[in-house]
Chain A
Amino acid sequence: MLIVQQVNKGIIKDLNFHINYGELAYLHSKNTRVIDELLKLLVGITAPESGIISWLHSREKPGCPDCDIGIVFKENILIPDRTLLENLYYVMGIKMLDMNYSQTRLKRILNVVDLLYCRKKRLQELLPHQQVRANIAQAILNYPSTIILNEPTYQLDQVNTQAIFSLLRELNKLSMTIILLSTKSLFGNKEIRFININQCLDSRKKGFYA
């Protein structure tokens, strides 16, 4: 469970929200800087000036490579001139994951993200939506309990965006907590909990009289 309580950092003022374990949450703000700042706070790259961000799980310690949070960045971070399988091997190596049964593990993960058929393709040969799936695959290599995605669908069309959302819903069914950070509005996805950060920022002012 993630609790963000009265967090202040830069342009973020008095941010309050919570996300339960196993939830699929969509954090929306029109301001890109707010999203970037929030990602840094959640991942543990920067500390809040005041307030509390607490992950109430057993293994989670944001900011370290072996932590229980997978991160999908806005841009592709995988190596373009290596194949998908080589990329995932490399990520397993630098994350110091157990290389025993790595073949089985990688096959299973590629099967989940529906990329098993292009495992021998180089990253630069993949389509944009396949690159997003590949980045999701690198994030779930150590079977984290939480994934944070920073605008994963910003360069995708509506059809591919929906396909990515259905993949995330499938991952959510495997009891992963999924936190989506985006500047795009969310339409027609009732299963996803929508949190408007701008409203959260103003929540103290609105609830003041109550």
Chain B
Amino acid sequence: MLKGFKFILAEAFKLFNKGRQKSIFFLITLILSQLFFIILFFASSRPFLLLLFPVLLMIINIKYINYYIQCYRAEIKLVEKLNCKPSFVRYPLLLITFIPNIMALFMTYITVKVFYSFYANCLSPVLFHSSPLGDIFDASILAFFLLLIIVVVILSDFYLFLKHGIG
């Protein structure tokens, strides 16, 4: 089990190295899209806008994982030819999608937290002479986003794995 996990981690790392620029671009896109939706959500205070977020996230994820499947085609073919477990190609691909998504979420969370605390503690008392209302972007929203991301990543990966015959 541990041997297999080590192997999958090493493969994910190699895959990440192969498309490093793409991963960084993907990470930036994710952070910007998340920030955009958070701002949009709090500015308009309309919950239905939040429904657009998983759709956008799914489109971005599908494009990203498709790129990595193309990079990993030789490995997929090798595993298929040798009748080995397809999990050896599935898990590195899944890992490579999860890591930027989770990283983006936490980076967005930290950014919003910093901005909010700056606004609440420094700007708001000076400009509006009022105390902050409380944490708007709290841990429950983070947990909700985390759950949403996990569902979206698994769904988009599952769709692509089926499409490319790795599932």
Contact = CB atoms under 8 A, between A and B. Distances in A.
Interface of A: 45, 63-65, 71, 73, 77-81, 90-91, 93-96, 99
Contacts of A45: 83
Given A65-B84, A65-B85, A94 B79 contact: yes
* Contact residues of B: prevailing secondary structure: helix
A81 B82 contact: no
Contacts, number: 40
The 9 tightest CB contacts between A and B, nearest first, are A94-B84, A79-B74, A93-B7, A65-B84, A94-B88, A77-B81, A65-B83, A77-B78, A94-B79
Given A93-B88, A96-B4, A63 B75 contact: no
B78 A99 contact: no
A78 B88 CA distance: 15
Interface in B33-82: 74-75, 77-79, 81-82
Contacts of A96: 3-4, 84
Contacts of A73: 81
Contact of A64 (B3, B7, B83, B88): B83
Interface core residue of A77, A78, A81, A94 (most chain B CB under 10 Å): A94
B3 A91 contact: no
Interface residues of B, number: 15
A94 B84 CA distance: 6
Nearest to B79: A94
Contacts of B75: 79, 90
Nearest to B82: A65
Contacts of A80: 74
Contact of B78 (A63, A64, A81, A91): A91
Nearest to A138: B82
Nearest to B72: A79
A90 B10 CA distance: 10
B18 to A, nearest CB: 8
Given A64-B83, A94-B84, A95-B82, 16 more contacts: A45-B83, A65-B82, A65-B83, A65-B84, A71-B81, A77-B77, A77-B81, A77-B82, A79-B74, A79-B75, A93-B7, A93-B11, A93-B88, A94-B78, A94-B85, A94-B88
Interface of B: 3-4, 7, 11, 74-75, 77-79, 81-85, 88
Given A93-B88, A94-B88, A96-B4, A79 B82 contact: no
Contacts of B85: 65, 94
Contacts of B84: 65, 94-96
B71 to A, nearest CB: 9
Given A96-B3, A96-B4, A99-B3, A91 B82 contact: yes
Nearest to B7: A93
22 contacts: A63-B83, A64-B83, A65-B82, A65-B83, A65-B84, A77-B77, A77-B78, A78-B74, A79-B74, A79-B75, A90-B75, A90-B78, A91-B78, A93-B88, A94-B78, A94-B79, A94-B82, A94-B84, A94-B88, A95-B84, A96-B84, A99-B3
A77 B79 CA distance: 9
Contacts of A93: 7, 11, 88
